[in-house]
Amino acid sequence: IRHLLSGADLDAASATLILDTAAEMASVSGREIKKLPALRGRTVVNLFYEDSTRTRISFEAAAKRLSADVINFSAKGSSVSKGESLKDTALTLQAMGADAVVIRHPASGAPHRLANWVDGSVVNAGDGTHEHPTQALLDAYTMRARLGRIAGLHVVIVGDVLHSRVARSNVQLLATLGAKVTLVGPPTLIPVDWASRAGAGTPAAPPPGEPGGGTPVTDVSYDLDSVLPTADVVMMLRVQRERMAASYFPSAREYARRYGLDGPRLRRLPEHAVVMHPGPMNRGMEISPEVADSPRSTIVEQVANGVSVRMAVLYLLLGGSR
């Protein structure tokens, strides 16, 4: 594939290739010589219109470990503040020789538009409430590293699903890789189309192995305690207040009581189950500090794995040679 815009761009074989390549990249990163010459002479532009800590830094680290030249562009402090459009910004970057553009943008669909305007590869680093495919890949990598497989796992995704590009990409990718997903959250924070499928499984999907295919069994529950005993993975989502009207803000205490993962709920999980969070966290709201810092939590591993996964994505998209 030329671009990575959505979890649905990946069939089982291409997703597995990325995860396997990431595992090789991780073994290189652990050695004394951390840098590979694979992308020497190539230019990766990080085009960020929205704040980021993990994604921006890990794409930069990934590109540098592959010896690419990296240009970091933040909309703040650029000519975007003078009204320059995404298209004109993209054409400017292309004129400077970008081989790949990694874009984060508050508008859903912005990476897809960008892909029509530039010759190089486009990687979606999070677009509005739509998708965040490299986050789903690093999550899948982390599950496989901790639990040895993805197919057949029961992954419970909890919280503000409505505003979560992480959830959307995970649902796509996990279905393709054969996991069962249950979405849990307050009714106001579960998308209506997914809520209407509660208990019915996902309707007509492409055949296993096809993009967006697999055997998706996306279920919906509003009762966190009832699903915890069968979970292999609990993925907590950040409550995205910045995407909600103030009148919709849930009370932190009430939210934590019904949907927060705390010590007593952690003890309801099977012994092998792990807890994930894409970050940044609202500690004390969707996840308690005790859980976030527990050995069952993979949160720091997810960040480390993100570098290897993004190395794999850049390497595979850019072909490793001119």
Which secondary-structure segment (H or E) carries 136? helix 133-147
Which residue lies nearer to ligand CP by CB, 55 or 89? 55
CA distance 300 to 19: 18
Binding to ligand CP by residue 305, rule CB under 6 A? no
| Sign of the torsion formed by the C-alpha atoms of 190, 299, 39 and 77 | positive
Q: Smallest distance, Å, CB 181 to ligand CP?
A: 18
Binding to ligand CP by residue 27, rule CB under 6 A? no
# residues contacting ligand CP (CB under 6 A): 9
Return the residue of 126, 185, 212, 260 that touches ligand CP, per CB under 6 A.
Answer: 126
Q: Smallest distance, Å, CB 22 to ligand CP?
A: 16
Q: Smallest distance, Å, CB 239 to ligand CP?
A: 14
246, burial (CB in 10 Å: exposed 0-12, middle 13-18, buried 19+): exposed
Which residue lies nearer to ligand CP by CB, 102 or 220? 102
Output the furthest CA–CA distance in the chain (Å, rounded).
Answer: 56
Q: Are strands 180-184 and 217-221 parallel, antiparallel or unpaired?
A: parallel
Which residue lies nearer to ligand CP by CB, 55 or 170? 55
Applying CB under 6 A, the span of 46-54, 69-77, 152-160, 211-219 interacting with ligand CP comes to: 46-54
Which residue lies nearer to ligand CP by CB, 12 or 61? 61
The answer to the question of whether 144 is labelled as a binding residue is no
Q: Smallest distance, Å, CB 128 to ligand CP?
A: 13
Return the residue of 16, 21, 52, 240 that touches ligand CP, per CB under 6 A.
Answer: 52
Residue 48 Cα distances to 75, 106, 314, angstroms: 6, 9, 17
Q: Are 123 and 4 in contact (CB under 8 A)?
A: yes
Q: How far is CA 240 from the centre of its chain?
A: 15
Applying CB under 6 A, the span of 49-57, 114-122, 242-250, 262-270 interacting with ligand CP comes to: 49-57
Q: Smallest distance, Å, CB 11 to ligand CP?
A: 24
Q: Which 261-290 positions form the footprint of ligand CP (CB under 6 A)?
A: 278-280
Return the residue of 89, 124, 135, 298 that touches ligand CP, per CB under 6 A.
Answer: 135
Q: Smallest distance, Å, CB 314 to ligand CP?
A: 16
3-state SS class at 65: helix
Which residue lies nearer to ligand CP by CB, 53 or 230? 53
Binding to ligand CP by residue 54, rule CB under 6 A? yes
The answer to the question of whether 165 is labelled as a binding residue is yes
The answer to the question of whether 253 is labelled as a binding residue is no
Applying CB under 6 A, the span of 18-26, 48-56, 148-156, 224-232 interacting with ligand CP comes to: 48-56
Which residue lies nearer to ligand CP by CB, 154 or 277? 277
For the chain, list the strands marked E by DSSP.
43-48, 69-74, 100-105, 121-127, 154-158, 180-184, 217-221, 233-236, 274-276
Q: Are 67 and 94 in contact (CB under 8 A)?
A: no
Residue 239 Cα distances to 64, 136, 282, 296, angstroms: 32, 18, 7, 21
CA-CA-CA-CA torsion for 128, 130, 131, 132, nearest 10 degrees? 20
CA distance 73 to 241: 26
Chain positions contacting ligand CP, by CB under 6 A: 52-55, 126, 135, 278-280
- Known binding residues for carbamoyl phosphate are 54-55, 104, 132, 135, 279-280
